[in-house]
Structure 1
Amino acid sequence: MDIQLNGVSKSFGDQLAIDHVGFTINSGDICCLLGPSGSGKTTLIRLMIGALKADEGMIQLGETVMPSMAMLHNIGFMPQNDGLYEDLSADANLEFFGSIYKLGKAKLQARITEVLKLVDLTADRKKLVRNFSGGMKKRLSLAIAILHGPDILFLDEPTVGIDPILRRQIWDQFQMIRASGKTIIVSTHVMDEVLECDRAALIYNGRLIAYDTVPHLLDQTENGRIEELFLIAGREGGVGHA
Structure 2
Amino acid sequence: MKEHAITLNAVEKRFHHKQVIAPLSFDIPTGQLIGLLGPSGCGKTTLIKLIMGMLQPDNGTIHVFEYTVPHKQLLMDIGYMAQSDALYSDLTGAENLHFFAKLYRLSKKERLERVTYAANLVRLTDELNSKVMHYSGGMKRRLSLAIALIQNPKLLILDEPTVGIDPVLKHEIWQELTRLKEQEHKTILVTTHAMDEAERCDQLAILRNGHILAQGTPFELKTKYKAKDFDEVFIKAGGTIQ
Whether TM exceeds 0.5 here: the answer is yes
- 1:218-233 to structure 2, matched below 5 A, reads 218-233=222-237
Greater mean deviation of Cα atoms: 68-77 or 141-150: 68-77
Task: Give deviations 1:186-214, integer Å, cap 9, x for gaps.
Answer: 00000110111000010001101111112
After TM superposition, the score normalised by the length of structure 1 is 0.94
CA distance in 2, matches of 1:219, 1:234: 16
Greater mean deviation of Cα atoms: 142-151 or 224-233: 224-233
- 1:204-219 to structure 2, matched below 5 A, reads 204-219=208-223
1:196 aligns with 2:206: no
Give the letter for the 2:189 counterpart: I
CA distance in 1, matches of 2:11, 2:59: 5
CA distance in 1, matches of 2:208, 2:159: 16
Give the letter for the 1:226 counterpart: F
Contact 2:14–2:20, Cα closer than 8 Å, also in 1: yes
Task: Give deviations 1:3-53, integer Å, cap 9, x for gaps.
Answer: 111111101121111001111111000000000000000000001111111
Percent identity among equivalent residues? 43
Residue 181 of structure 1 is matched in structure 2 by 185
Contact 1:5–1:60, Cα closer than 8 Å, also in 2: yes
Contact 2:43–2:207, Cα closer than 8 Å, also in 1: yes
CA distance in 2, matches of 1:217, 1:128: 44
Give the letter for the 1:14 counterpart: H
Residue 93 of structure 2 is matched in structure 1 by 90
Corresponding pairs, count: 236
Contact 1:23–1:211, Cα closer than 8 Å, also in 2: no
CA distance in 1, matches of 2:159, 2:196: 16
CA distance in 2, matches of 1:78, 1:166: 16
Question: Which residue of 24, 34, 37 corresponds with 2:27?
Answer: 24
Q: Which runs of 5+ in 1 are unaligned?
A: 236-242
Contact 1:52–1:67, Cα closer than 8 Å, also in 2: no
Give the letter for the 2:41 counterpart: G
Q: Which runs of 5+ in 2 are unaligned?
A: none
